[in-house]
A and B are shown apart, each in its own frame.
Chain A
């Protein structure tokens, strides 16, 4: 009988424990009110590898040195978990656990959910210079005309080329202003096959997702309006021409098919191993290639006859939670992060980003002696930045991830040709837009 009673009490205790564990989170942290002279504590959310985390920590230390009144706490997650966990925090609605400042993409999607703070009033009050950004870049962080975030970096896609492979094939290095025809000729000369007909070196390896560059260079476009679209324009001849160029390189066997590229470990892997003489990629590969001691340089992307250089302006942005309870301090931090001499300079010096601010890109922080030698090519592509790479409406991620991207897979796999696929795909895009109430 005694044993039974002990067990019952034990069970009751266990149950209480489980219940209290469920409820404990909020009151615990809610009980502590900061005293007047205490530091303001900001929670700062970002993803990244251990190396990137270290760099973020250096940035926070530098900020806290300049602003001793603010203390930065980290909320760090690996990329795979970051958004799911961040969404769960926002869904909880508890300002004590919601990060004040977060790294985020795509900004309009989250702004539409009402979890981000409109930065327009802070910009107006502080006189923060929006003109310092590369052209078109801030569009990717706007929602309904207002700025909701500041892109930390800008994705600048350039051609990386392996000098050794060019030398071995006797092909001249890319020159500024080279054309699609020049490019095709070089890629063909660089492609090598073994006795069994297996390709050992491809002229080009590029992710399928890089198609927007060719389309826009050729005068094509995805939508008539990137914020409030009413129509898909990818079936227009100029856009189809861009797709045909890209898919044609794959059909001729001089460009690696994206599915094969994926299986081979991605463009960095095939470029480093000499399986591809050129890749089209953003500046994120530089530090790895330099660490590996590759003999490479970069060049502007070739343009079609009658076309123009174009780079899609976009990048993950620093945003402020609308649920933040320290908005003034959060703005101070964001403004410092996105300043020449502040966070932008530290990240750029670390070689982690190509900066969103033009002045930092033109400063010694970026213009170093390290490879690649032709940094002017990166600056030239960045200067050609503009809208056209993606939609700036909340449903873009769904449209791109479920319809557009998978639809184009057939083109990259060689299962369809551009002239027949794109009208069908555009019809699906138009249907999606109509179902979601566009144009609004």
Chain B
């Protein structure tokens, strides 16, 4: 403490604007702020402008008002991509949370080789998605390992079975993308949950145990409420991730067949760089932003009902 004798003032004094003492601080921020300003702030503002204009390969042509947005609303492919993305959100978010939590609880026990299992389950997170997709494509091909396994199982239990075309049919393509994404992302959810589980105070379990709570009751009434801030964070994080899903459908199915696995961000990319429609693509990006923002805001409001903070 003696090394900072000047830091004795009250909180209000510390908050006071003292440009003569702070300019070096801002100077330190400058390099990173410049990058942020040019490549983020400026780009975001420009895309808003582009979405309200006719914008060709060589730049601005004329203002278009709401034209791009109106075109978007009439575009059946956009709506299909939109519903596909909704499917990804309602399947991926709950499944990632449930699986991640289950894995975390399992690997929070004192079992032999727990570090090895944690490593194995986390490995997909740091694996190249393209390599993962190649393996998944092999597994899920019409005569691949998954179908062979299913066929063998159905033969054993004597249930009629027709091999699903995981990648080539519009009913199953989204499921394939979900499987790959789950494999890739659930390890991350697990690690965050593991950290949260280890933060739950031991004495609360002991107290619950003394009160005669079963292990399920301890999980339900001690663990779940205490890790709810983590659940909230992961919920928002994974929801935004699912909204912005791009690589997984892109490498797995290329959005097909019949656009059945096309995600919104992938359609934005195609519109911008295949169709050279920067204006329509910018409009789409802003519609996507409004949805993400609205859902995040909604969750933020709803959190009072189920997220428990110890300090409250």
B275 contacts A397, C-beta separation under 8 Å: yes
- Interface flags for B45-60 (1: CB within 8 Å of A; 0: not) read 0000000000011110
Minimum CB–CB distance from A436 to chain B (whole Å) comes to: 9
Task: List B contacts of A431 (CB < 8 A).
Answer: 74
B257 within 8 Å of A (CB atoms): yes
B13 within 8 Å of A (CB atoms): no
B276 contacts A109, C-beta separation under 8 Å: yes
**Which residue in chain A gives the minimum CB-CB distance to B255?**
A406
User: Which chain A residues in 1-33 approach chain B with CB under 8 Å?
Assistant: 4, 8, 11-12, 14-15, 18-19, 22
User: Which chain A residues in 387-440 approach chain B with CB under 8 Å?
Assistant: 395, 397-398, 401-403, 406-407, 409-410, 412-413, 415, 428, 431, 435
B169 contacts A110, C-beta separation under 8 Å: no
B113 within 8 Å of A (CB atoms): no
B170 contacts A413, C-beta separation under 8 Å: yes
A170 within 8 Å of B (CB atoms): no
Task: List A contacts of B258 (CB < 8 A).
Answer: 406-407, 409-410, 413, 415
The contact of A428 among B38, B56, B76, by CB within 8 Å, is: B76
**Which residue in chain B gives the minimum CB-CB distance to A408?**
B258
Task: List A contacts of B257 (CB < 8 A).
Answer: 259, 406, 409-410, 412-413
B170 contacts A263, C-beta separation under 8 Å: no
A198 contacts B74, C-beta separation under 8 Å: no
B296 within 8 Å of A (CB atoms): no
A18 contacts B275, C-beta separation under 8 Å: no
B273 contacts A435, C-beta separation under 8 Å: no
User: Which chain B residues in 21-66 approach chain A with CB under 8 Å?
Assistant: 24, 27-28, 30-31, 34-35, 38, 56-59
User: Which chain B residues in 158-191 approach chain A with CB under 8 Å?
Assistant: 165, 167-170
A263 contacts B31, C-beta separation under 8 Å: no
B273 contacts A115, C-beta separation under 8 Å: no
Task: Select the stretch in A87-95, A118-126, A157-165, A305-313 that faces chain B.
Answer: A87-95
Given known A11-B28, A409-B258, contact A114–B56 (CB-CB < 8 A): yes
Minimum CB–CB distance from B50 to chain A (whole Å) comes to: 12
B143 within 8 Å of A (CB atoms): yes
Task: List B contacts of A259 (CB < 8 A).
Answer: 165, 167-169, 257
CA distance A11 to B168 in the complex (A): 55
A38 within 8 Å of B (CB atoms): no
Minimum CB–CB distance from A359 to chain B (whole Å) comes to: 35
B154 within 8 Å of A (CB atoms): no
CA distance A425 to B71 in the complex (A): 19
A73 within 8 Å of B (CB atoms): no
A83 within 8 Å of B (CB atoms): yes
CA distance A115 to B56 in the complex (A): 10
A257 contacts B168, C-beta separation under 8 Å: yes
Task: List A contacts of B145 (CB < 8 A).
Answer: none
Given known A8-B27, A90-B58, A91-B58, contact A18–B273 (CB-CB < 8 A): no
Minimum CB–CB distance from B104 to chain A (whole Å) comes to: 35
CA distance A119 to B273 in the complex (A): 26
Task: List A contacts of B24 (CB < 8 A).
Answer: 4, 8
**Which residue in chain B gives the minimum CB-CB distance to A323?**
B58
Given known A15-B34, A19-B34, contact A398–B275 (CB-CB < 8 A): yes
Task: List B contacts of A401 (CB < 8 A).
Answer: 270, 274-275
B58 contacts A113, C-beta separation under 8 Å: yes
Task: List A contacts of B76 (CB < 8 A).
Answer: 403, 428
A84 within 8 Å of B (CB atoms): yes
User: Which chain B residues in 223-271 approach chain A with CB under 8 Å?
Assistant: 255-259, 262, 267, 270-271
Given known A18-B31, A263-B167, contact A115–B71 (CB-CB < 8 A): no
CA distance A22 to B39 in the complex (A): 11
CA distance A249 to B154 in the complex (A): 29
**Which residue in chain A gives the minimum CB-CB distance to B137?**
A263
B141 within 8 Å of A (CB atoms): yes
Q: Residue among A93, A263, A264, A401 with the most chain B CB within 10 A?
A: A263
Minimum CB–CB distance from A281 to chain B (whole Å) comes to: 20
B142 contacts A260, C-beta separation under 8 Å: yes
CA distance A11 to B33 in the complex (A): 13
**Which residue in chain B gives the minimum CB-CB distance to A93?**
B58
**What are 28 A-B pairs with beta-carbon distances under 8 A?**
A8-B24, A11-B28, A11-B30, A14-B31, A15-B30, A18-B35, A83-B273, A90-B58, A91-B58, A91-B59, A109-B276, A113-B58, A114-B56, A259-B169, A260-B141, A260-B165, A260-B168, A263-B167, A264-B141, A395-B275, A398-B271, A398-B274, A406-B257, A406-B259, A406-B262, A409-B258, A410-B258, A413-B165
5 interchain residue pairs of minimum CB distance: A259-B168, A409-B257, A113-B57, A398-B275, A409-B258
Residues of chain A touching chain B, judged by Cβ–Cβ distance below 8 Å, are 4, 8, 11-12, 14-15, 18-19, 22, 83-84, 87, 90-91, 93, 109-110, 113-115, 198, 257, 259-260, 262-264, 395, 397-398, 401-403, 406-407, 409-410, 412-413, 415, 428, 431, 435
Other A-B pairs beyond A18-B35, A91-B57, 17, CB < 8 Å: A11-B27, A15-B31, A18-B34, A22-B38, A83-B273, A84-B273, A90-B58, A93-B58, A93-B59, A114-B56, A114-B57, A263-B137, A264-B141, A395-B275, A406-B262, A409-B257, A413-B169
Residues of chain B touching chain A, judged by Cβ–Cβ distance below 8 Å, are 24, 27-28, 30-31, 34-35, 38, 56-59, 71, 74, 76-77, 137, 141-143, 165, 167-170, 255-259, 262, 267, 270-271, 273-277
